[in-house]
Structure 1
Amino acid sequence: MALKGGELISLIHSFSLSHGDPYVGTFAERLLSHVTRPFYDMLRQWIYDGELADPYGEFFVYEQSEDEINEAALANSNEGKGGATSVWEDKYKLNEKMIPTIITEEFANKVFLIGKTLNFIRYGCGDAAWVDKYSKEASKELQYGDTANLEQSIGDAYKTTMARLIDLMANKFKLFEHLQALKKYLLLGAGDFIAVLMESLSANLDRPANTQYRHTLTAQLEHAVRNSNAQFDSPDVLRRLDSRMLELSHGEIGWDVFTLEYKIDAPVDVIVTPFGSKQYLKVFNFLWRVKRVEFALGSTWRRCMTGARGVLGTVSDKVGSDWKKVRCGIAEMVHFIDQLQYYILFEVIESSWNELQEALHKPESTLDDMIEAHAKYLNSITRKGLLGSQSTDFTGQLHELLKTMLAYKDAVDGLYSFSVAEFTRIQEQAARIETRTAAGRWGLTERDTSSPDPFSNKRASRSDAGSPFPPPLLNIGDAGNGEDDVLPALRKRLAHLIKDFRARITILLGDLIHQPDHDMRWLAMVMNFNDVYQPKRRHSHRRDKKREKEKETPAAAGTKSVSGKSGSYLAGKS
């Protein structure tokens, strides 16, 4: 097999080092100074111009074809990697077989990185003028045997090119500003902006998803920007921020399809890759749903506290005990939401952000270091943020908990509507008594007491916007249309939901306690700091349910456990 390039240099170099005949060794050493000239010419052009002049494939760096680059990019996306795009990662590769033994592997890696960086500065960053100027000023003749000069040239080229690329990323392309914007808007770091946005969008997003319009969402986004500290961000950042809707599916409402988007252009997309943008979107959608539940519970809590001094106080003899239970249930859910948000926003995102800043601002950091640091940052906030655990489906558990809390909020709204309707009935009855008393009559007649029931079919069928008890809230479980049917159904619904919420909490806490990450275990501790819940792991919960089922049907369970002759014996004996 014919050898070429680096392989041939390595073979001749081996003769100069270890051959027993001194004449052969001297000849090989003399031969190397001639054989290595093309190699050093390619090396010089690579480390000073960022161009690969290797028509016969003799250098240890090679350029991949377009098909290979596309295949590599597809493989990276399928594997869910957070690495760089093909422009940086896949355009050039290192061929370890062609690395000559006259240089070390570490030296070859540094050379590979220098040329790749210069090429990226020229074509990816559009700064060919700087590369040409640098090449004219720094270019030196390289030759075999001048080891000291070669090492110094490589060291100087490495420092200069890395510093230039980091400077371009930081100042020209505003990398750090974009990362800060992603944290503020997609990771909900700008609390005032998110609060204004949610307040202004709430009325629209309560409607079905197919009634949402892009221009309406965009207008509300601009309103939130103008009425929060977001207005002081640079125009370039605000230009990249946009709202859009996810794909629609049957039965969804606006809350389920709304999302924010932050557009990233080249060359910053080498660090914030398309895969990374999807991770940001995934975290935003989860945090947005948590914020939505917090907003809904907060609105209901304020209504309850305000009504306690008015409407609810008037009907306390009938539903007072129910409202005490409801307030306890809402407070329990608000505590859970607050602890979950604090953990994700501060213990996870803020902590990971500090680590990212330290990694990005290290002296002599390379673009590869930045890519790795950002990929680690995204992995940390998704894994520790309960969105990327492979062993336990925390995401599914949390979504079910959030769904339960929203259902509980709807049931509480139903109880409030019932209380308002009861208050209205009492007020109307008092008004009739006062009217009859003023007319010189006493009490109420049977005709007065048989006034239309606010819960009757006639009242429920009217589409009266001023009705104190909206018709849809009457359809609760097996409830009928009368007052005697609605209140028990509401009580049953509320009791079932709070029981379901607590059962899910115990399983979540049980799974968190057994996680290897100490931050997740800490979350379980703060959620249950007074030991209200008894943590239970998912599999043990299933075993307990199975045992309960077997206790309820002992005969069936016993029959299933017997097989063969025992089965026929039981049948015969019976």
Structure 2
Amino acid sequence: MLRELLAALLGHPGDLFHCQSVVASKGPHSTAADSIADSSGSSAADAGADADAGANAGARQVRVSRQFRVAEHLPLLHPSERDLCNRLLEIGAAYAELDHFASGRSRSPEGQGRQSLYLDALKTAMAVVLDEYREAILQLEKRLLSEPATQLSHIHYALSKFRLLLPYLLGLVAAVEAIKDAPSSFILDLLFTNLACGMPDVREALLSLFNAVLQVFYNQLSAWLLHGRLVDPYNEFIVYERDNNSAASDDSDPSLSETAIDWSDVQFGLRASLPSLVPRELAKDILFVGAAVRVLRGGDKSSSSKAQKITSCRITHDDEQRFAADLNHARSSEFRTSNLAAAVVAIRTTVASHLWALVSHNQGLSRMLTMIHDIILLRNGALWMLLLDDTSTVLCSTPTANSEFDLNAALRRAAVACNLDNNAEFAKCSLRLSPLENPSAAASSSRSLTLARESLQVAFQIDWPLTLFFSAAVMSRYHELCRFLLAATLAQRRLHTCWKRLADVRQPNLPVLHLRNRLAFICNNLLQYFQSDIIIPECAIFASTLESASDFDTVVAAHGLMLEQIARQCFLGTPAILRTIVEVWSACHAFCDAVVNSPTPPAEIIERITKVWWLSA
């Protein structure tokens, strides 16, 4: 009977020990399985709501498992012996389930046909843990052969360690198979959470499983950080390759653009749900380093001009050795998020300095920044005054097929007058008519967007590697500021033109003149505030940072802060004030349209515009 008991403990019941199918919601061993599944649910909740929903939903799936029991037709067994055998058979049933999992023959519907590097590593490590159990059974069989009088209690004692371990691991497997709607990297979260265990044998086994799965993460991390390569055949790593459709839709969302990089032909982003082992700030550093290393290594199909620019800024062999040493140190020691973060930050510091050398080559960044600030932020007032005066008719009419051509021709004439016609950076500037990038801005205006001035946009052709700095998200913020400032400047110029028309009348309409002066007062002071108190000081602060900067991170952070401060102080982030300012611009244009039609506009139009002025005042 003891020989057949050992066979049952290896998952092969016979006539004396029967196998029964059991239907359970969280696994055959409710106590262990429930505790593990609950801990996995809380871990996934900390990492992401989507993973939590998937884990909890999967944990409630119906699970069919096996249970071994002593046959009822053995009357010679004492009740205590029968109970002892049944307790041992619980270990055998748990082993059978774990062996099916480790060999890739999962009985759970969620675990079948699932491909995962993390899951494969867990199965391999689980097989190693089960080898210890099989070795214990082998030693018991040798003892039975040498000492036939071995007692049942001795078998129970010899396997007491596994009576806690195997059911616990079975509960862990049930929780792993429940994580079906989240990347398999969440297995790391599950294992790491359960390391806080008061049972030494269980913790030792869990630690071996965790380290085995952690090696998969470190291998993917090393390939990404050291070589800029994404080794992720089953889409499990925290970084993923974005397609063009998702990249285009994410550019308009600032929260998403912060977790995505489009420096090259291939674009990368962070997954929405991250394991709790990798905080979001650390994940952003990992994304940045890998993308930067890919650029510095020429990971894309670079042209000869790109390759020539990269040559002087490539990562050296000594840098590579140091990066590998930092990662190996974090890998060899007990896992701590702080150790991993220290290694990533050290790599990022070096990579950022190389990237800055590439971007700032031959002062190209400084010249392009100066030109963008002069044109998009309207710091070159003389150029814009000439341009708006020359294109007032085009801007105040419905766009036609020739509108863009006329605008760019006027831009070139203004450039000649301002001695910018031979400027290489200015040659990359053009004007185009496009819809509003921000639909909320259109909704805040009471007028229909049918005029050229309402879709005017400044476009710059930015060459690589400056595209690393002037990303699509950055240029979108510049365009938003330009559209806002241009609306104010155009209103100011039209009011000035109206003053000439009203002053030429023999008997001026004093109420109309007073209203024009009040509107001009608002426009002049707002523009003076925007330029003198906001844009010029903020650009000066950024310029001082640019002169002393030695790494890419510092400049990007300072540039982002400059744009944020300008937008905030220009009330772009305050909807109530912004709506009032937009209404003032609309009132100015309505006033100018009325004056163009007649020096003495109808009283109802003047009254309506006066109300807007009082509300703004």
**Alignment equivalent of 2:370, drawn from 167, 170, 180:** 180
Alpha-carbon separation, structure 2, partners of 1:11 and 1:85: 27
Distance in 2 between the 1:166 and 1:57 partners?
Answer: 31
Matched ranges for 1:20-419 at <5 A: 43-53=221-231, 61-66=237-242, 70-71=245-246, 73-75=248-250, 77=252, 83=258, 86-87=261-262, 91-93=268-270, 96-97=274-275, 99=277, 110=285, 113-122=288-297, 123=299, 129=311, 130-131=314-315, 133=317, 138=322, 140=324, 142=328, 145=332, 156-171=346-361, 174-202=364-392, 209-210=399-400, 212-231=402-421, 233=423, 235=424, 237-246=425-434, 255=453, 258-265=456-463, 268-269=466-467, 271-302=469-500, 319=507, 322-354=508-540, 367=553, 374=559, 377-378=562-563, 380-382=565-567, 384-387=569-572, 389-391=574-576, 393-394=579-580, 396-407=582-593, 409-410=595-596, 414-415=598-599
Residues 1:212 and 1:287: Cα distance change in structure 2 (over 3 Å): farther
2: CA distance, partners of 1:251 / 1:56: 47
Deviation at 1:334, TM superposition (A): 2.3
CA distance in 1, matches of 2:362, 2:196: 49
Give 1:241 shift.
0.6
**Secondary structure of 2:415's aligned partner:** helix
Q: CA RMSD in A?
A: 5.0
Contact 1:196–1:228 at 8 Å: present in 2 too?
A: no
Say which of 474, 499, 505 aligns to 2:607: 499
Gaps of 5+ in 1: 416-489, 510-574
2: distance between equivalents of 1:112 and 1:283? 28
Q: Any conservation in 1 of the 2:315–2:354 contact (CA below 8 Å)?
A: no
Instruction: Please say if residues 259 and 269 of structure 2, whose CA atoms lie closer than 8 Å, have aligned partners that are also in contact.
Output: no
Aligned residues: 409
Contact 1:193 1:229 in 2 (8 A): no
Distance in 1 between residues matched to 2:382 and 2:549, nearest whole Å: 35
Which AA in structure 2 matches 1:51?
A: R
Displacement, 1:227?
Answer: 1.1
Q: CA deviation at 1:504?
A: 0.7
Taking the aligned partners of 2:433 and 2:522, their CA distance within structure 1 comes to: 28
How far residue 193 of structure 1 moved from its aligned partner, in angstroms, is 1.0
**Taking structure 2 as the reference length, what is the TM-score of the superposition?**
0.52
Structure 1 CA distance, aligned partners of 2:498 and 2:540? 36
- Alignment of structure 1 residues 444-523 onto 2, 5 Å: 490=600, 493=601, 495-509=603-617
Deviation at 1:503, TM superposition (A): 1.4
Alignment CA distance shift 1:25-1:74 (3 Å): closer
The residue type equivalent to 2:459 in the other structure is: E
Return closer, same or farther for 1:301/1:82 CA change in 2, 3 Å cut-off. farther
- TM-score (normalised: structure 1): 0.55
3-state SS of 2:575 partner = coil
CA distance in structure 1 between the partners assigned to 2:207 and 2:253 by the alignment? 49
| One-letter code aligned to 1:171 | H
What is the CA-CA distance between 1:255 and the residue it aligns to?
4.8
> What's the secondary structure of 2:229's corresponding residue?
coil
Q: What is the DSSP-based 3-state SS (H/G/I as helix, E as strand, rest coil) of the residue aligned with 1:210?
A: coil
Mapped contact 2:365–2:466 kept (Cα < 8 A): yes
* Matched residue, 1:562: none
| Higher deviation after alignment, 340-349 or 146-155 | 146-155
The question of whether the paired residues in 1 share the 8 Å contact of 2:358 and 2:465 is answered with no
Taking the aligned partners of 2:518 and 2:551, their CA distance within structure 1 comes to: 47
Q: Distance in 2 between matches of 1:27 and 1:298?
A: 81
Is the 8 Å Cα contact of residues 223 and 230 (structure 2) preserved in structure 1?
yes
